[in-house]
Amino acid sequence: MFDYFKLAGPVIRSLDPEKAHGLTVRALACGLVPGQPRVDSAMLESTLWGLRFPNPVGLAAGFDKNAEVPDAMLHQGFGFVEIGSVTPRPQPGNPKPRMFRLPEDRAIINRMGFNNQGLEAVAKRLEARPRIGIVGSNLGKNKDTEDAASDYEKGAARLAPLSDYLVINVSSPNTPGLRSLQGRDQLEGLVGRTRDALDRAVPSGKRPPLLLKIAPDLNDEDLSDIAAVALAGALDGLIVSNTTIARPDSLKSAFAKETGGLSGAPLFAPSTAVLGRMYVLTQGKLPLVGVGGIASPEQAYAKIRAGASLVQLYSAMIYEGPGLVTRVNRGLIGLLARDGFACLADAVGADHR
């Protein structure tokens, strides 16, 4: 198949990053972006929370904040798509410029600030979609909401009937005070209230799983507290991890000192280390989603061996194009076969055995 991104990529990257992203979403919504070859293999299939994932490679939250193109992205070969982050009320986010490419580092820095059209706009789009594949919703809070849990309650109540899974996002570095919600006491209250709202919104037996997305910058005590909350039955899984506020000395780009969350290649090692730690702390009892720096089949496989049942990517597509999804899935088949695994589930957490 002709790789149109070899021609389109340099043009897209010549534009302001946020403008380029907006144009890409509009092109997808209009059907102007060709789909990618689908990789069908029983080796890649898995069933988690009663959901059948055709492959383990998902689109991370942040690309489709307003649920404008979830099905178009499924046609790019993803096994699942996560929309959002969505806040109850629309909000513009932080002042521009707020997204920066670091091409020398194969990285991105963003300080978007949960810019989105709000819960009702997103819900109406999800109501109208044909539900041809797995789509989860990532929930955030409005910047000026003092009772944070109330925003997650609202998000869960509205989107539970429309989503295959829900994610509590308390790990973005771009909303003041948000990451402090990862402490044990606050987290227990927030997760408990969100789960109660979820139970009220959806009939028994049809409740979508509730996941928590965590930061890569947590210390061992924080990670232990999150694992304890998760194992207590309040959560169905964890997404590891969001962007980092760290700035490795290896960064070469002129934008390296910009504030915000760093994603892409420099995030791979620290996020994978946290992923492995959370797999051990949760004793392999909870499905984990590995995110951060994936740009090759080998890196996706490393996340799986570290403990991820599913993986997600986003930043690498800016440099590699959507064909990366197909390349990762095809490569995973070969890596699983090389190591003697009959299916992906057999490889999850292999590094800890």
Eight-state DSSP code of residue 11: H
**pTM score of the predicted model:** 0.97
For the question of residue 171 being annotated catalytic, the response is: no
Of 221, 352, 214, the C-alpha closest to 292 is: 214
Residue 118, Ramachandran bin (φ over 0: left; ψ between -120 and 50: alpha; else beta): left
315 φ, ψ (degrees, to nearest 5): -55, -40
Query: Do residues 303 and 290 make contact, with C-beta atoms less than 8 angstroms apart?
Result: yes
pLDDT in tens, 200-236: 999 878 899 999 999 999 999 999 999 999 999 989 9
Structural domain boundaries enclosing 69: 5-352
Low-confidence ranges of the chain (pLDDT < 50): 1-2
Annotated binding site for FMN: 61-65, 85, 138, 169, 213, 241, 264, 293, 314-315
Q: Which residues, 6 or more positions from 131, have their beta carbon under 8 angstroms from its beta carbon?
A: none
| Number of folded domains that form the chain | 1
**Confidence at residue 205, expressed as pLDDT on a 0 to 100 scale:** 80
Pairing outcome for strands 288-291 and 237-240? parallel
Which residue of the set 46, 163, 171, 172 is catalytic? 172
Binding residues for substrate, as ranges, are 65, 110-114, 169, 174, 242-243
- The confidence score (pLDDT) of residue 1 equals 46
Count of all residues that appear for the chain in the document: 353
Q: Which residue ranges make up the annotated binding site?
A: 61-65, 85, 110-114, 138, 169, 174, 213, 241-243, 264, 293, 314-315
Tokens read off for 32: 């102007």
In sequence order, the 6+-apart residues with CB closer than 8 A to the CB of 93 are: 112, 113, 114, 115, 116
Write the CATH number for 314.
3.20.20.70
Sheet of 99-102: strand order equals: 99-102, 107-110, 261-264
pLDDT tens-digit profile of 3-45? 667 777 788 889 999 999 999 999 999 999 999 988 989 999 9
The three-state (H, E, C) secondary structure of 302-329, written as one string = HHHHHCCCEEEECHHHHHHCCHHHHHHH
Q: What is the pLDDT of residue 9?
A: 77
Residue whose C-alpha is closest to residue 194's, from 149, 144, 136: 149
